[in-house]
Structure 1
Amino acid sequence: MARYRAVLFDWRGTLVQNPDAEWCITRALRSLDRSIEPRAVEAAVQGLATAGELPEILETERHEDCSAELARSVTMRRFELAGLDDELANALYRIDAEPTTHPLYPDVPEVLSAIRDRGSRLVLVSDIHHDIRVDLAGYGIGHLIDACVLWFEHGFQKPDVRMFALALEAAEAEPGDALMVGDRASHDGGAAEAGITTLILPPPMDAGPRGLDIVLRLLR
């Protein structure tokens, strides 16, 4: 029997890749049949970085994922402050929600399957602003996931301990019987406040395996 009755996983940056701004802007421009000019891409990247540090954006990001509508509003405002035109902003927002923008890390299917084989339940706990359930089958992991707890459906977001309580309820597990795996202590660390053993992965160096085999070692 596995050490933990349930394993809770963050989504982006943990199970699926999160491409940088340069990649996303380039893809958005290409989707609009616009030319890819390095200086223009660099200016857009810098604009997004600068906008992301403005007090207005930092404040709204504290609750932007509490609803899909709010998430879009905050994101589009950031794009506006970054100097992106409406067409490019809409393309960038659309591309961010496409599964092809966020491929699975290559070791994910094998690790999730092994976790299920050991008798643990799997729950996705994400502050994403759209429903990823419809995409799980396309990723080839839909049959492995027992439940999804998505912030925008409940009105609060990480690191609010209420979300991790919902995840435990979905997994039918107590805090001491669960393991949370994420990539940001500032967000996923809220699980520790809920009494859940929490593993924070380091930033990925590339698109190779995420190193999730460590989870299997913790289940022994």
Structure 2
Amino acid sequence: MAIQAVMFDFSGTLFRLEHRQSWFTGLVDDDGRPLDADEQAELMRRMTAPVTLTVDLDEQHREAWEHRDLDPELHHKAYLEILKQSGVPGTDQAEALYRRLIDPAEWTPYPDTASVLKELSGAGVKVGVLSNIAFDIRPAFTARGLDAYVDEFVLSYEVGYVKPDPAVFRILVERLGSPAESTLMVGDHTDADGGATGIGCEFALVEPLPTAERTDGLRAALREHGAL
């Protein structure tokens, strides 16, 4: 059956939070030494890791982590603790980095994001964005005029379900008005995004590489499934 709708994950799929040196100005380790490139990269990984818990949390913060994508306050609580345990000195610095994480303007689209969304929309294929997330990502699309090519956004904190719960995929499929069997889910995580197969959707995996290293990953994934 031909693909009538495509659902996209956000982080690591359509957009990526890229490493910017300026974010780490003034940050030092416990010995007062500025963080080196590897330490900065590890902080970025911990800020954007979609599933893997990267530090040991007490019961209170673990609870926040497990429900972070359903509640902005829990998201803030969990990530602030992770940043502190990752060597970010002081609450002010951790807050500043956290604000970067949840600011849609800081996220960078992959090189083929705009063209792929435009082509799908122009071909009459319904487009949805489905994300486990606790902040509104729509401004990232609106600022670049990409919202014109997205029919529906389903964000976990707004609907009360997180991937891979079948319910969250069903919500978007129903909103797009396409049978699950004619819908493709594109994402960077086999367990979370691949959960779409549980309701009959096809699934295409992309690697969450830096944007400069993945110039046509979306297009290749869609072509493999006959969606472009």
Q: TM-score, normalised by structure 1?
A: 0.83
Pick the aligned partner of 1:212 from 204, 213, 218.
Answer: 218
In the alignment, structure 1 residue 4 sits paired with structure 2 residue 3: yes
Contact 2:24 2:40 in 1 (8 A): no
Structure 1, 54-63 or 202-211: larger mean CA deviation: 54-63
1:78 to 68, 77, 82: 82
Structure 1 position 181 matched with structure 2 position 186: yes
Q: Which residue of structure 2 aligns with residue 67 of structure 1?
A: 71
3-state DSSP of counterpart to 1:219: coil
- 8 Å contact from structure 2 (residues 110, 211) kept in 1: no
Give 1:156 shift: 2.4
Q: Of residues 99, 103, 124 in structure 1, which corresponds to 2:104?
A: 99
> Which amino acid is the alignment partner of residue 64 of structure 1?
R
Identity percentage of aligned residues: 27
SS state at 2:2 partner: coil
Q: Distance in 1 between matches of 2:27 and 2:83?
A: 19
CA distance in 1, matches of 2:75, 2:119: 34
Gap regions ≥5 residues in structure 1: none
Partner of 1:40: helix, strand, or coil?
Answer: coil
Mean Cα displacement is larger for which, 86-95 or 39-48? 39-48
Once the 2 structures are TM-superposed, how far is the Cα of residue 147 of structure 1 from its aligned partner? 0.7
Match of 2:34 in 1: 40
Give the C-alpha shift of residue 141 in structure 1: 0.5
Any residues of structure 2 matched to 1:65-214 within 5 Å, and which? 65-84=69-88, 85-204=90-209, 206-208=211-213, 209-214=215-220
Distance 2:125 2:109 in 1: 21
Moved more, 203-212 or 191-200: 203-212
Hey, what's the Cα distance between the residues in 1 that align with 2:63 and 2:190? 19
What does residue 27 of structure 1 align with? 22
Alpha-carbon RMSD: 2.7
Query: Which region of structure 1 is more displaced relative to structure 2, 152-161 or 118-127?
Result: 152-161
User: In 2, distance between residues paired with 1:27 and 1:59?
Assistant: 32
Shift, 1:211, TM fit: 1.8
- What's the secondary structure of 1:103's corresponding residue? strand
**CA gap 1:46/1:175 in 2 versus in 1, 3 angstroms:** closer
Looking at structure 2, the residues matched to 52 and 134 of structure 1 have their Cα atoms a distance apart, in angstroms, of: 29
Q: Secondary structure at the match of 1:122?
A: strand
Alpha-carbon separation, structure 1, partners of 2:87 and 2:136: 29
SS of 1:17's equivalent? strand
What is the deviation of 1:36? Answer: 7.5
Q: 2:41 and 2:142 mapped to 1: Cα distance?
A: 32
More divergent stretch after superposition (68-77 vs 98-107): 98-107
Q: Distance in 1 between matches of 2:210 and 2:102?
A: 23
Spell out, residue by residue over 1:75-102, the C-alpha distance to the aligned partner (whole angstroms, 9 max, x if none). 1121232242101100001111223432
How far residue 206 of structure 1 moved from its aligned partner, in angstroms, is 4.8
SS at match of 2:79: helix
